[in-house]
């Protein structure tokens, strides 16, 4: 299944590469599969799919089930998006607070503007 551009961009904003995005999208339709099945469904080269899946496990988008062959299970999108949304919000709030402190600490250093009015029409 192909996602629209905005949905793909949302996954990139969440920190996924193109291959990771393709793999996660494919696994959402497979729910659980081995690397070969995922590689075929995601159109990701088999030589790359294990590293991509490992990255997705580290990013908590996918769970790995031990055994032969290894099986990978998708973490439901609502959980992934909720966690990412919270992380992005917290990161932005922290950055905003830090930048506001820098900004506000510098305001006293900036000289106040002086207005010189010339001519007959003085405001």
Helix axes 18-30, 46-58, angle to 10 degrees: 80
| C-alpha span between 9 and 7 (Å, rounded) | 5
Confidence (pTM)? 0.77
**What pLDDT score was predicted for residue 58?**
97
**What pLDDT score was predicted for residue 29?**
95
> Which run of H or of E encompasses 86?
helix 77-106
Tell me the per-residue pLDDT of 20-66, one tens digit each, with 9 for 90 and over.
999 999 999 999 999 999 999 999 999 999 999 999 999 999 999 98
Tell me the per-residue pLDDT of 99-121, one tens digit each, with 9 for 90 and over.
999 988 887 787 777 776 766 76
């Amino acid at each position: 299944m192909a996602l629209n551009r905005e949905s793909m961009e949302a996954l990139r904003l969440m920190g996924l590469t193109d291959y990771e995005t393709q793999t996660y999208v494919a696994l959402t339709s497979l729910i659980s599969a081995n690397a070969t099945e995922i590689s075929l469904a995601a159109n990701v080269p088999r030589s790359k799919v294990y590293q991509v899946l490992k990255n997705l496990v580290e990013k908590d988008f996918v769970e790995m089930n031990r055994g032969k062959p290894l099986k990978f299970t998708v973490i439901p999108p609502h959980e992934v998006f909720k966690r990412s949304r919270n992380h992005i919000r917290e990161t932005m709030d922290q950055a905003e607070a830090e930048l506001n402190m820098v900004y506000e600490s510098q305001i006293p250093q900036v000289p106040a503007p002086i207005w010189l009015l010339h001519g007959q029409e003085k405001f």
